Structures are given as structure tokens and as C-alpha cells.
């Protein structure tokens, strides 16, 4: 369910510009920033770029994922 929210005009324009680049709606861009920001606050020891990439990888279809193969241990 959508809810109207008032935001600063500058933030809106930044979101509009970034949304066009990232092929998102303006609301989608603000939601993305909020999701990354929340995850970054919840994980302060991780770089924000790592958090953003981890969230992006979670949105990829599972059938297209590369399976994890652990390295064998040397005896």
C-alpha cells in the first residue's frame, strides 16, 4: 500500500535523476535508498557498497545463481 510522504525538493530531484539512470521509478529509487540505508545501519561494520551488492544479489533469480563450491582443504 502506498502512502504519500513529503520530502525535500532537493532529495526529490536527486531521486528523479538517479531513478532515470537506474531504470527505477522515483518511489522505487527512494525505497532502494531506504532499504540500503536500513541494512547499512543494521550492519555498521560492512561497507555500504557491500551491503548494496548483497541486497542486489538477493534479488537475482535463484535458477540463475552460481552454486557455491567450497575449496577443498589441503591435507
Q: Which of helix, strand or coil describes residue 11?
A: helix
Look at residue 68 and tell me if it is in a domain: no
Determine the Cα–Cα distance for residues 41 and 39; give it in Å rounded to an integer.
Answer: 5
What is the pLDDT, as a whole number, of residue 75? 56
Look at residue 70 and tell me if it is in a domain: no
What is the pLDDT, as a whole number, of residue 1? 77
Look at residue 66 and tell me if it is in a domain: no
What is the pLDDT, as a whole number, of residue 38? 96
C-alpha cell at 4: 504519500
User: What is the DSSP code (8-state) at residue 66?
Assistant: P
Q: Which of helix, strand or coil describes residue 24?
A: coil
User: What is the DSSP code (8-state) at residue 21?
Assistant: H
User: What is the DSSP code (8-state) at residue 46?
Assistant: S
Spans of the chain, pLDDT less than 50? none
Look at residue 43 and tell me if it is in a domain: yes
Look at residue 1 and tell me if it is in a domain: no
Look at residue 33 and tell me if it is in a domain: yes
Model confidence, pTM: 0.72
What is the pLDDT, as a whole number, of residue 67? 82
What is the pLDDT, as a whole number, of residue 15? 97
Give the count of domains, the chain.
1
What is the pLDDT, as a whole number, of residue 74? 64
With vertex at residue 15, the alpha carbon angle to CA 42 and CA 41, rounded to the nearest 5 degrees, is 10
- Domain span holding position 44: 9-59
Amino acid at each position: 500500500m502506498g502512502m504519500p510522504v513529503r520530502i525535500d525538493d532537493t532529495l526529490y530531484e536527486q531521486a528523479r535523476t538517479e531513478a532515470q539512470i537506474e531504470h527505477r521509478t522515483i518511489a522505487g529509487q527512494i525505497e532502494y535508498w531506504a532499504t540500503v540505508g536500513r541494512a547499512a545501519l543494521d550492519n555498521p561494520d560492512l561497507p555500504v557498497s557491500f551491503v548494496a551488492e548483497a541486497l542486489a544479489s538477493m534479488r537475482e533469480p535463484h535458477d540463475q545463481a552460481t552454486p557455491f563450491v567450497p575449496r577443498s582443504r589441503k591435507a
